[in-house]
């Protein structure tokens, strides 16, 4: 009797496990397929792209699209360094230093997270124009470095680091700067990893703001370049070079995907510890 119950239980568990495994495979395939289709299309010569038969592995693979797309690749890493530096300093002040008006200032920073870039686009455009930064990379990058999400993330994380550590260091004669860079930042690696991924993805991927600032090709960033390749699509059939567009897309994705794959082990951990999830 008891054995039969056990057998039933085991069978049920096996069923549940295989159901989960099946779902897992299904989800993976569904989510990966579009990306793989992009890679596949990017490797096809023009004639093959519009073949009515769906062919996942190109008949005559070509790197042609990549050679042409590479010319569009820009450099947007300045923000990353700038953002991380400014955010770390500010977060340290909010988490560890005592000064008047700290709570008020922090509330102000948090408030702006809720305000979309669109709700300040016109004045921002005028500020950038007044500084003569229209059509420059600096003009694209600076407003993005002002985003508050990184400060929030790091402050939450810094708060969770035991105060005793920095007090011990202070006894040994360390000042706040040393404590920040030698003790707090090394302990905050998971949070910094999350910040790096998010900032990198946000900067590399942001679209609305570069679209406004970049008016000639000289300062165009990748997403805007993509956008303008696409806007050619509105005009007619001759511009429909999906192979080239997909190659550009693959290249465009590479940095963030690589960054994500490198940092992903720390990712869930970092979000969990920083209290980003609220």
For other proteins, the binding residues in 226-265 under the rule CB under 8 A are: 226-227, 229-230, 233-234, 242, 245-246, 249, 252-253, 256-257, 259-261, 264
DSSP one-letter code for 71:
G
- Which of 9, 14, 21, 160 touches other proteins (CB under 8 A)? 21
DSSP3 helix / strand / coil % (the chain, rounded to 5): 80, 0, 20
- Which of 81, 115, 168, 262 touches other proteins (CB under 8 A)? 115
Cβ-based nearer residue to other proteins, 63 or 115: 115
- By CB under 8 A, residue 171 contacts other proteins: no
- Which of 37, 47, 70, 262 touches other proteins (CB under 8 A)? 37
Cβ-based nearer residue to other proteins, 89 or 183: 89
Window 53 to 112, contacts with other proteins (CB under 8 A): 54, 85-87, 89-90, 92-93, 97-99, 105, 108-109, 112
- By CB under 8 A, residue 208 contacts other proteins: yes
Give the span between the Cα atoms of 74 and 215, in whole angstroms.
15
Give the span between the Cα atoms of 246 and 65, in whole angstroms.
8
Least distance (Å) between residue 25 CB and other proteins: 8
- By CB under 8 A, residue 156 contacts other proteins: no
Window 44 to 63, contacts with other proteins (CB under 8 A): 49-50, 52, 54
Residue that is written with structure tokens 């920095």 in the block: 166
Sequence-distant (6+) residues with CB within 8 A of 175 are none
Tokens standing for residue 242 = 């999906």
- Which of 27, 67, 81, 168 touches other proteins (CB under 8 A)? 27
Which string of DSSP letters, residue by residue, matches 109-139?
HHHHHHS-GGGGHHHHHHHHHHTT-TTSHHH
Cβ-based nearer residue to other proteins, 173 or 186: 173
Contact between 58 and 40 under an 8 Å Cβ cutoff? The reply is yes
Contact between 62 and 44 under an 8 Å Cβ cutoff? The reply is yes
- Which of 9, 119, 160, 217 touches other proteins (CB under 8 A)? 119
Q: Between the CA of residue 141 and those of 56, 98, 109, 212, 252, what are the distances in Å?
A: 38, 31, 19, 12, 18
- By CB under 8 A, residue 188 contacts other proteins: no
The window from 58-66, 70-78, 126-134, 158-166 that contacts other proteins (CB under 8 A) reads 126-134
Q: Give the interface size with other proteins as a residue count (CB under 8 A).
A: 95
- By CB under 8 A, residue 142 contacts other proteins: yes
Closest CA to 272 of 123, 108, 126, 153: 153
């Amino acid at each position: 009797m008891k054995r039969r119950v056990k057998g039933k239980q085991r069978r049920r568990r096996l069923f549940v496990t295989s159901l989960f495994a099946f779902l897992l495979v299904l989800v993976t395939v569904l989510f990966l397929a579009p990306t793989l289709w992009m890679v596949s299309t990017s490797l096809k010569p023009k004639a093959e792209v519009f073949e009515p038969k769906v062919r996942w592995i190109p008949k005559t693979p070509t790197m042609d699209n990549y050679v042409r797309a590479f010319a569009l690749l820009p450099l947007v890493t300045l923000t990353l360094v700038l953002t991380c530096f400014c955010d770390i300093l500010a977060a340290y002040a909010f988490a560890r230093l005592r000064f008047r008006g700290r709570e008020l200032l922090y509330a102000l920073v948090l408030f702006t997270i809720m305000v979309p870039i669109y709700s300040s686009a016109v004045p921002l455009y005028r500020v950038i124009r007044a500084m003569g930064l229209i059509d420059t990379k600096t003009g694209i990058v600076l407003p993005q470095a002002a985003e508050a999400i990184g400060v929030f993330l790091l402050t939450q994380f810094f708060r969770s680091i035991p105060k005793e550590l920095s007090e011990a260091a202070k006894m040994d004669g360390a000042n706040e700067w040393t404590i920040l860079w030698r003790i707090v930042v090394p302990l905050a690696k998971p949070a910094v990893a999350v910040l790096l991924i998010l900032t990198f993805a946000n900067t590399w991927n942001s679209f609305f703001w570069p679209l406004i600032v970049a008016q000639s090709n000289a300062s165009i960033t990748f997403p805007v370049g993509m956008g303008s390749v696409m806007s050619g699509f509105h005009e007619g059939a001759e511009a429909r070079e999906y192979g080239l567009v997909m190659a550009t897309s693959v290249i465009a994705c590479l940095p963030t995907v690589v960054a994500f794959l490198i940092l992903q082990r720390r990712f869930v951990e970092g979000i969990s510890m920083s209290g980003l999830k609220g």
